[in-house]
């Protein structure tokens, strides 16, 4: 189909084909934007020539440590230059990047180390304790630790430092570019709907197309100044660090996400773009007056992680921001749909404008499709009433789950990626999420598996049965709320159960409320979580 009768001599050659990879953005930028500022963090300012040279040194240094194509290199890093450099330097030696959430508990980090088979770990000084605790729990060979010492920190003295590794590398090292754009670029672990995280595998082609799709959705021109609010361990920072060199822009690092840090970066560095969960918007709305700074330009903001309330959007935009809601998952390289603003909406103001902006949106340009499907896999009516599951397909969908063929097959059932998120579609095709996947809680942009939290609760000797659901929260979007049935004669307080969970889970996974009650069940004994969600919404109302 679509082939000419005779295509002799019309095959792929180096002259007409190169595998798509986001590495090409930095390689090009190092040539045509060599003297422009690429990366900023405190006193660190790198030109594109410097940035590319350090990436080459990192890639060479990794090979000197025995890293070979296909090996996994992990990071436990905040948004500092080492994390940005790793996004290019790790794949530049043919390895696969595994950025790990620094907020996880040692047990989960140990599982990720083992499952991915990480050979080397680049770890911030502040997270060495987490890394060492995780390694002590591992079943397999532990990764070699390279310590990244950030501004204001002192090296532990226990490990080779990141700067020593980079300093010993060759700035002329020839990058190992993919021969096939389907080669793996990164693996990101997501909690999903079970307690065990799943390894989402990205390919070079998908990441490259995600960078172009995001730039189009953000209406980006040359030389943007991007602030790294989104953690680079979340979908590789929504692929934005790979994107910025394509436009000759500047990445401004942000280690600690505070309103003051964001306002300072906007005022002092001219930040033009950043992404963040609705909690970031709320933080800036409600910050102390002395933390605000004046700026004269409109800052473009992507928000995702949970559907933003219209009231939040209405309060945030007048402060000097233009917000675009985007939606996606780890499995879609981050944002895959955008609430594309239509010119016929320009007359809308106030609550009407905010309501339009609160829509989930339509497929980005590089995604083949985003629809709402019924339980049979057929599209629902576009009437803003019929509910179904959001389904996506195209190049911005993951390769699959690492070492989990069954989960991959289930996710791709019927030729679409099944997100597990519930929505309806307007007549114009715009999606609107009505509920997240029933067992997932989105707290401050972090995925929390209710199954995992329930498992921690069930370890308490007083607990007979429990269920965990999302409770709406003004600050975090959602927080875990636990409903607990106690064993006959057993006694335990809310504070004791929360402390019990806190000893076993990351802070954001720990229940913030515990309700002692008999759980509603079906005739077969299944807990009716929809009833518990209704109760949770009324707590403190």
DSSP assignment of 129-141: HHHHHHHHH-SSP
459 and 427 in a common domain: no
Q: Is the model's pLDDT at 523 over the cut of 50? A: no
Cα-based distances in Å from 450 to 422, 456, 536: 17, 10, 14
Over residues 301-330, the pLDDT tens digits come to 999 876 677 778 888 999 999 999 999 999
Number of domains in the chain: 2
- Please give the mean pLDDT across all residues of the chain: 93
Buried b / exposed e over 253-268, threshold 16 CB at 10 Å, is: bbbebebbebbebbee
Does 478 have pLDDT greater than 50?
yes
Phi, psi of 155, rounded to the nearest 5 degrees: -60, 140
Kindly report the CATH number assigned to the domain that includes residue 415. Answer: 2.30.38.10
As a whole-number percent, the residues of the chain with pLDDT over 70 amount to 96
In contact, 186 and 96? CB cutoff 8 Å: yes
pLDDT at 193 over 50: no
**468 in any annotated domain:** yes
533 in a domain, yes or no? yes
Q: Report d(CA 260, CA 284) in Å as an integer.
A: 8
Choosing from 435, 464, 490, the residue where a domain stops is 435
Is residue 525 situated within a structural domain? yes
Residue 211 pLDDT more than 90?
Answer: yes
Q: Output the pLDDT for position 9.
A: 92
Percentage, residues of the chain above pLDDT 90: 78
Confidence at residue 458, expressed as pLDDT on a 0 to 100 scale: 83
Task: Say yes or no to pLDDT of 191 above 70.
Answer: no
At 56, phi and psi to the nearest 5?
-65, -40
Same domain, 482 and 419: no
Which tens digits make up the pLDDT trace of 338-377? 999 999 999 998 878 888 988 899 999 999 999 999 989 9
Residue ranges with strand state E in 27-127 = 37-41, 44-47, 72-76, 96-99, 118-124
Backbone angles phi, psi at 451, to 5 degrees: -60, -40
User: Does 427 lie in the same domain as 502?
Assistant: no
* CATH assignment at residue 478: 3.30.300.30
Residue 312 lies inside a defined structural domain of this protein: no
Does some domain include residue 153? Answer: no
111-157 pLDDT tens trace: 999 999 999 999 999 999 999 999 999 999 999 999 999 999 999 99
**Spatial CB neighbours of 64, under 8 Å, sequence gap ≥ 6:** 168, 169
How far, in Å, CA of 147 to CA of 155, rounded? 8
Residue 431 and residue 449 share a domain: no
pLDDT in tens, 498-511: 999 999 899 999 99
Same domain as 466, residue 392: no
Mean pLDDT of 187-206: 84
What digits encode the pLDDT tens for the residues 19-71? 999 999 999 999 999 999 999 999 999 999 999 999 999 999 999 999 999 99
Q: How confident is the model at residue 464 (pLDDT cuts 50, 70, 90)?
A: confident
C-alpha 148/C-alpha 157 separation (Å) is 11
Confidence of residue 525 (pLDDT cuts 50, 70, 90): low
More confident residue, 533 or 204: 204
pLDDT for residue 192 is more than 50 = no
pLDDT in tens, 394-452: 999 999 999 999 999 999 999 999 998 888 899 999 998 876 656 678 888 887 878 78
Q: Which of 392, 418, 435 is the last residue of a domain?
A: 435
| pLDDT at residue 5 in the model | 94
User: Is the Cβ–Cβ distance between 297 and 321 less than 8 Å?
Assistant: no
| Domain limit, last residue, from 412, 435, 458 | 435
Give the pLDDT of residue 194. Answer: 47
Distance between the two ends of the chain, CA-based, in angstroms? 60
Report if residue 377 sits inside a domain: yes
Contact 54, 41 (CB under 8 A): no
Look at residue 29 in the predicted model and tell me its pLDDT.
98
Residue 405 and residue 425 in one domain: yes
Q: Are residues 445 and 527 in the same domain?
A: yes
Domain membership of residue 529 (yes or no) is yes
Q: In terms of Cα–Cα distance, which of 473, 511, 474 is closest to 494?
A: 511
Q: Is 375 a domain residue?
A: yes
Q: How many whole angstroms separate alpha carbon 514 and alpha carbon 481? A: 6
Per the structure, the complete domain to which residue 517 belongs is given by: 440-538
- Assess contact for 128 and 145: CB atoms under 8 A: yes
Provide the pLDDT confidence category of residue 171 given band limits of 50, 70 and 90.
very high
């Amino acid at each position: 189909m679509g082939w000419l009768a005779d295509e002799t001599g019309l095959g792929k050659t180096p002259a007409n084909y190169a595998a798509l990879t986001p590495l090409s953005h930095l390689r090009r930028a190092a040539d045509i934007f060599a003297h422009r500022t690429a990366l900023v963090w405190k006193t660190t300012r790198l030109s594109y020539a410097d940035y590319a040279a350090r990436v080459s040194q990192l890639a060479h240094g990794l090979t000197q440590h025995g890293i070979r194509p296909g090996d996994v290199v992990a990071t436990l890093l905040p948004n500092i230059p080492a994390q940005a450099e790793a996004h290019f330097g790790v794949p530049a030696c043919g390895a696969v990047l595994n950025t790990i959430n620094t907020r996880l508990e040692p047990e989960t980090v140990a599982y990720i180390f083992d499952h991915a088979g990480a050979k080397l770990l680049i770890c911030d000084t502040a997270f060495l304790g987490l890394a060492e605790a995780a390694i002590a729990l591992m079943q397999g060979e532990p990764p070699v630790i390279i310590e990244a010492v950030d501004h204001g920190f002192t090296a532990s003295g226990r490990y080779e430092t990141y700067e020593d590794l980079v300093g010993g590398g060759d700035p002329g090292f020839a990058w190992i570019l993919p021969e096939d754009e389907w080669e793996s670029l990164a693996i990101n672990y997501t909690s999903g709907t079970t307690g065990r995280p799943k390894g989402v595998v990205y390919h070079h082609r998908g990441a490259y197309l995600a960078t172009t799709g995001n730039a189009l959705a953000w209406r980006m021109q040359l030389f943007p100044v991007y602030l790294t609010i989104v953690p680079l361990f979340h979908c590789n920072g929504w692929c934005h660090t790979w994107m910025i060199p394509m436009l000759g822009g500047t990445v401004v690092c942000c280690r600690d996400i505070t309103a003051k840090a964001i306002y300072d970066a906007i005022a002092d560095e001219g930040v033009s773009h950043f992404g963040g969960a609705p909690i970031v918007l709320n933080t800036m709305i409600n910050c102390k007056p002395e933390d605000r700074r004046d700026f004269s330009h409109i800052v473009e903001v992507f928000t995702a992680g949970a559907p933003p309330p219209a009231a939040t959007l209405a309060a945030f935009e007048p402060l000097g921001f233009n917000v675009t809601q985007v939606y996606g998952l780890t499995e879609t390289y981050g944002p895959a749909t955008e609430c594309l603003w239509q010119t016929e909406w320009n007359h809308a103001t106030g609550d009407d404008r905010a309501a339009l902006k609160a829509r989930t949106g339509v497929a980005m340009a590089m995604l083949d499709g985003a629809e709402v499907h019924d339980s049979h896999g057929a599209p629902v009516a576009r009437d803003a009433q019929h509910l179904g599951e959001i389904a996506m397909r195209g190049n911005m969908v993951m390769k699959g789950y690492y070492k989990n063929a069954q989960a991959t097959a289930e996710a791709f059932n019927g030729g679409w990626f099944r997100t597990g998120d519930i929505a309806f579609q307007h007549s114009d095709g715009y999606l609107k999420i009505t509920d997240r996947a029933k067992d997932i809680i989105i707290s401050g942009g972090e995925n929390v598996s209710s199954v995992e939290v329930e498992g921690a609760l069930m370890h308490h000797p007083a607990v007979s049965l429990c269920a965990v659901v999302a409770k709406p929260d003004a600050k975090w979007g959602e927080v875990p709320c636990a409903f607990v049935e106690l064993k006959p004669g057993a006694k335990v307080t809310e504070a004791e159960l929360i402390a019990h969970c806190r000893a076993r889970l990351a802070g954001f996974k720990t229940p913030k409320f515990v309700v002692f009650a008999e759980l509603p069940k079906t005739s077969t004994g299944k807990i009716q979580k929809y009833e518990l969600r209704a109760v949770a919404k009324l707590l403190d109302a």
